[in-house]
Chain A
């Protein structure tokens, strides 16, 4: 362990003294406060905070990723190219210890820089209200919608397979099926219609959503929604009656021990809105129902899009959420450090850099990449699912575990998400990469061919 640590310390010294880490540090030191001053967002406190955190966290994450790739690759390739490794590897240190030492050095450097810059970002975020002298109203809004970690409950798409099958049979019997249209297409159309019907409320009709295991921490919770209309009203606004409370009250009409929220409010269409409701409406068993009634004041049908409604409630503090966000970034850096070392064990510096950047950017859009591959390889399904699919699955999914995406709308980064990221990105993928690099490095010839 002492030997591994000696290599690690040397790696950190190298990163600092060849000034690559210093340059990145200075850039961040300058940019983060500048961002804090210049970002205005939509001029509200919440908008400022969201814009700042979004930019600052992304910038830090991006720069540290680049730094990790460069340092991890350079520290190994320079040793091989400039042959310092001749004197190192002939000392009583095993090759795997050398690699692990390099890795440990890079990760330690990452942890130090990450803690430093996260602290800066956190401090600026916390002191922002004082700095811009925010009004009371803005502060409340920021506390409710930014300085918090809200869990989100959504409703899954209703399963309409049976319904559609019945409808299809019925149409067929009546001979009303359009000619020259394949069955799949008709089914797809019918499914779409059926699902739309489940999300639409005609004038005077209600919609009901159920949520289980709701455990709000704070006094209030939020319904976040977005709806559309069949015909646009003149002011683009429609009325809605919102009810929230014990599920059994809505379903069976039984007397509820907890109060029922009941308000009629006007909202603009096609924008996301949040309604604040008191947390006391949640019954003890946690089974909450939310109902929406298209009041007769409107003369149009109201349609909720597939992700049109969710319930948000405070589940943790902003600080804890921020720490978990930083940990997500750290996992990403650990993977990249392993990847850099792997590339350096068998590639020269420029090629290794290129290799890692390709992986890094692909991983940053992994969702898109996965979808496109699945879509494009429909015709070669068997080949794809047995070869390329596995390789692509090995890509880490940086976008899936993107902390900014969650921290900006104050969504809870749950421990389970964090654990999932740790298991997939670090324990499995980074570990595999590390093992591969150890194998390659243990068996390759260190010295150059010189005759």
Chain B
């Protein structure tokens, strides 16, 4: 399998009732997405992005051409097992509650009950809907429904994730979380096809992008190559003295170049997340989703570990999960001191069987296991960790080496 997604002159013509051609929704599209790549499909409304996705997944039949997903047909159950799909809006059964919704999708994948239960709790925790897990999905706000939609796309731990406008309707924390998730999954070797017109999102996470218009790809390539201004340089330093600044100005003018020196602005996103996280730590009540920026364990671990983990973690999963973030549940978490001893043992077990784990994943694990200590101490540590990850951490999470050498495009590359 050379490509994770490959299309051969994929064409979709919408005809009217008499069979007369009305619109070329997708026109001779040749798309190639390599394995372990985050690929962004961009384009204005009506440019054929969603139609392309629907054809990939067999929801629409191409008028001409062919599409291969993971080397097979997109409507073949064997292939579907390895795909996660989030449609452009979260189409959910309004009468099911959040947990039942995930359970239903888990059953469609034929997941055994223990694994299903474990993953559902982990995903609910991850998308911050644990507190409202027993409420009917029909009563959810758009953003909350979006989170459940995302959770259902991840329940099978897919190799290929197809996300159509994943961040619409989400608050900045949710958006950030999805971006972090995409990076994490890519780090684990997953392929992600992202369809969006929110350019900032795409810019932050994608390796390669294609811009569609009128059903055709107008341009495609690596984000960095497409966006880098080769005729300019940017230097970021700590707060240095005015004399040093003057020296730099002189050096630059010696090179016959112009130079602007200012204090960099914090991104509004970063500022927003910091404020909300602080409020969460003070346990202020909310009826909405409780964003934790945490990522489900089973998504960040390696395959062989996962099966052992599933077995180990499946029984006390609800207790373990309750030790985590949702601020409103902290009292209950502190009370259940007994089972925590077991958890400690469990965490030792789980951490000892994952020597090959990446650093980022290990850090995730740390967050999970630390609640063994006293509640206040735990709170501090969690906050440190989250802040660290939220503000500066995403650079360290970069998924390939050449990217971490460069400053993150989303954090500081937009001067």
Contact = CB atoms under 8 A, between A and B. Distances in A.
A2 B51 contact: no
Contacts of B105: 87, 91
B177 interface: no
B104 interface: yes
B91 A83 contact: yes
A133 interface: no
B95 interface: yes
Interface in B20-40: 23, 25
Contacts of A447: 54, 59-60
Given A87-B152, A445-B60, A451 B25 contact: yes
A276 B59 CA distance: 69
Contacts of B140: none
B56 to A, nearest CB: 10
A10 B81 CA distance: 20
Given A86-B87, A92-B78, A450 B108 contact: no
Interface in A345-401: none
Contacts of B107: 2-3, 5-6
A207 B80 CA distance: 77
A90 B85 contact: yes
Nearest to A95: B75
B8 interface: no
A84 interface: yes
Interface residues of B, number: 39
Given A445-B60, A449-B14, A451-B25, A90 B91 contact: no
Contacts of B393: none
Contacts of B58: 89-90, 446
Given A86-B59, A447-B59, A92 B93 contact: no
B295 interface: no
B91 A82 contact: yes
B92 interface: yes
Nearest to A444: B61
Contacts of B81: 92
A450 B78 CA distance: 28
Interface residues of A, number: 30
A6 B95 contact: no
B83 A90 contact: yes
Interface stretch (A13-21, A40-48, A139-147, A288-296): A13-21
A6 B59 contact: no
B46 interface: yes
Contacts of B60: 445-447
A86 to B, nearest CB: 5
Contacts of B48: 451
A80 to B, nearest CB: 10
B25 A89 contact: no
A6 B93 CA distance: 13
A93 interface: yes
B46 A89 contact: no
B108 A3 contact: yes
B57 interface: yes
A89 B95 contact: no
Interface in B31-82: 46, 48, 50-51, 54, 57-61, 74-75, 77-78, 80-81
A92 B104 contact: no
B51 A88 contact: no
A2 B14 contact: no
B109 interface: yes
16 contacts: A2-B107, A3-B107, A3-B108, A6-B108, A10-B93, A10-B104, A82-B91, A85-B91, A86-B59, A86-B85, A87-B149, A89-B75, A91-B108, A92-B110, A450-B50, A451-B25
Interface of B: 14, 23, 25, 46, 48, 50-51, 54, 57-61, 74-75, 77-78, 80-81, 83, 85, 87, 89, 91-93, 95-96, 100, 104-105, 107-110, 149, 152-153, 156
